[in-house]
Amino acid sequence: MKPSTSHWGAFSAEVDPDGRLRVEPHPADPAPSPLLGNLAAALDHPSRVARPAVRRGWLDHGPSPDDRRGRDEFVELPWDDVLDRLATELDRVRTRHGNQAIFGGSYGWASAGRFHHAQSQLHRFLNTIGGFTASRNTYSNGTSSVLLPHIVGDTHAVLRQASTWPTIAEHTELLVAFGGIPEKNVYVTPGGVTVHGTPGHLARLRARVALISPLRDDLPSTIDAKWYPIRPATDTALMLALAHTLVVEGLHDKEFLDRYCVGYAEFERYLLDKDPNWAAGITGIPAADIVALAREMAAKRTLITVTWSLQRTEHGEQPVWAGIALAAMLGQIGLPGGGFGHGYGSMGDVGDTGPELPIPHLPQGTNPIDEFIPVARIADLLLHPGETYDYNGETRHYPDTRLVYWAGGNPFHHHQDLNRLRHAFTRPDTVVVHEPHWTATARHADIVLPATTALEREDLGSGRRDTHLIAMHRIAEPAGEARDDYAIFAALASRLGVAEAFTEGRTARQWLEHLYNGWRGEPSFEEFWANGELKLPPGRNHHTLFADFRADPNAHPLKTPSGRIEITSTTIAGFGYPDCPGHPVWLPPTETGPLWLIANQPHTRLHSQLDAGETSQAGKVAGREPVRLNPADAAARGITTGDIVRVFNTRGACLAGAVLDDALRPGVVQLATGAWFDPIDDHPTGPLCAHGNPNVLTADIPSSRLSQGCAGQHAAVDVERFDGPAPRVRALHPPVRETAFRRTAQR
């Protein structure tokens, strides 16, 4: 068995003589992730890209916009032929249109390895040849990343230095969890989690929890909790009513607000008519329950948490900002077990006690092009070249993109309104993708280069606050003709005359040694590699967010204009954005429908990664992604568990397998993201995804003009039973002829 790691945990693995992958979780891990069961599909599943492939239309007619992307066949060609063609195209675009006409995508989670990190590899290569238009922020928390600096001055502190779980377990009496603490997400951290501590911390939690979510299973059932089944997208209204109760009953901490905050008086005036009766009609939570919860919050050491999911919505700034304001009114920010948290249950490292250490990584160099887009605006970039948009107080414009280069990511998972994205992908001259599998992104490309998986190369692996650095040994030989991203970019760099600048004369193994030795001298690289891991120094068990600021706000001011918590931000108010004014406000969603869809993260895979895996496939219903409905909503539509149903709205439709579950509030359906997009264009009911990807339903709109963040968590939909023959799911089968290949066991 050889060591390696993944975004969902460290493990050892080997390929047996019959070609089967055997996986054992790290022996120190008390709660190994079930997602390790998907790893075998990373090897020789039929969906693997076996050889370099070029879309027929691009091959025959050359680079140009083409609406056949995603519908055309592919032709397999030799590596040298494809690399020659790609190098010529890169040179054409940068010479004729400038490097800003190249968009370097690579938003994704291809590998936990720090050297073979696809985004770093792609950005280093593109910077070496003159730069590119980049993306900024993330789909996960891009709204908060823009908002938090204005309100508390430091995104990193809130997202990466949260109060630790042992501190919460010891001091918190009431945990008010907006969006819950979904245990399925805590198994995942970028770079890996060797020791999954959060499940154990949750089991030891002594606080009473107020679960505020449309889904009861957004909190482990073993935790003492009261469920407040709120209507989706109404959390801000509930927060405002809680704040109103604190004011009218004199339960707010005036001294804290005066000393540590600015702009409270204006916010309080706004609260005057936001009473519990007003909020009850919006949220579905009885007014008496709102009043009782506000009183309990004021009487106990209370931690208010907001999951990242709440800011992945239209007006997503508001629940985060209102949560901070509510915590400030309680006056417990900076006290052990109290205050505010953002992301507990959204990622495995939030509240973790592991060390916060820099991990060796591949330098990306400097991008000489200053153009960028907020990451969730990719379709707008391609559809509206030259047009302007607002972002964080700036007026920016979309460059004229001629070439899209994607490596290690799948925008047809992350992005919204996939039918619009399909149209956007017809606009560039050329789309290039490095992929191990024939994902929808690969199918919508012109040039597809087969990339190795983490099991097929060597690397260094470690996550944020991980307890170990893992020597990622190669477990298996590359599938088919797959090459790692570094080898691909080195070959292109050679053709473009910048090989030395890109590689610095090093092989991939030499880069691993160079990165390790520049980071740590002892033990030697050879000892580390032979041992398979390096245990890192321990982190802090006890830490409280903003404790120093509370102790002395003059000596430790926040990095806001005032040095204080900005309940009202004159900076944001000065931008003049109607969809994000100067303090927290209630802004209702712009669309309504019979049912409200929650498109959350799956529990059977990481995003769309390894949807072909055993664990992911075991969760399918009728071969499609399961959609959960409340039994009352299902009965009204004649739907029973196991039925194939059509989920639809004006943007699109998909087929899914019905599951009835009273853990959902009535009027809510839940369909996880990540089923590989499988469009059927000519179905009698209209275009649909046969596999159950909810992003054919979600709207491609920004959270606001402030952040331009992703708003893909919710959508208004309806559901009906699908009668008649259902189209087969084709997403796991390649669009070129299948090629058989065998693996050689690694002895």
Nearest to 179 by CA among 311, 352, 46: 311
DSSP 90-127: HHHHHHHH-GGGEEE---S---SBSSS-HHHHHHHHHH
Give the distance between the most distant pair of CA atoms in the chain.
75
- Helices then strands (H, E): number in the chain? 25, 31
Q: How far apart are CA 347 and CA 341, in angstroms?
A: 13
Paired residues of 646 in beta bridges: 655, 720
Q: For the beta carbon of residue 439, count every other beta carbon within 10 angstroms.
A: 25
Residue type, 93: V
* Tokens describing residue 683: 């179905």
550 within 8 A of 335, measured Cβ to Cβ: yes
* DSSP designation for 549: H
Residues 6+ apart with CB under 8 A from 227: 211, 213, 216
Q: How far is CA 683 from CA 243, 443, 444, 696, in A?
A: 51, 20, 20, 15
Burial of 726 (0-12, 13-18, 19+ CB in 10 A): middle
H helices present in 6-164, as ranges: 56-61, 79-97, 118-128, 142-151, 155-160
* Tokens describing residue 164: 């630790």
Q: Is 391 a catalytic residue?
A: no
Q: How far apart are CA 615 and CA 618, in angstroms?
A: 5
Q: Is 58 a catalytic residue?
A: no
Candidate list 8, 109, 165, 391, residue with the active-site label: 109
Q: How far is CA 266 from CA 263, 567, 583, in A?
A: 6, 9, 8
Q: How far apart are CA 48 and CA 41, in angstroms?
A: 9
Sort strands 714-721 and 644-648 into parallel, antiparallel or unpaired. Answer: antiparallel
Candidate list 8, 58, 107, 227, residue with the active-site label: 107
647 within 8 A of 654, measured Cβ to Cβ: yes
* Tokens describing residue 507: 């092989």
Sheet containing 9-15: which strands, arranged edge to edge? 2-6, 9-15, 21-25
CA 158 from centroid of its chain's CA atoms? 17
Residue pointed to by tokens 């519990």: 276
Sign of CA dihedral 359, 363, 368, 371: negative
Q: How far apart are CA 249 and CA 270, in angstroms?
A: 16
728 within 8 A of 466, measured Cβ to Cβ: no
What are the residue numbers of the active site?
Answer: 107, 109
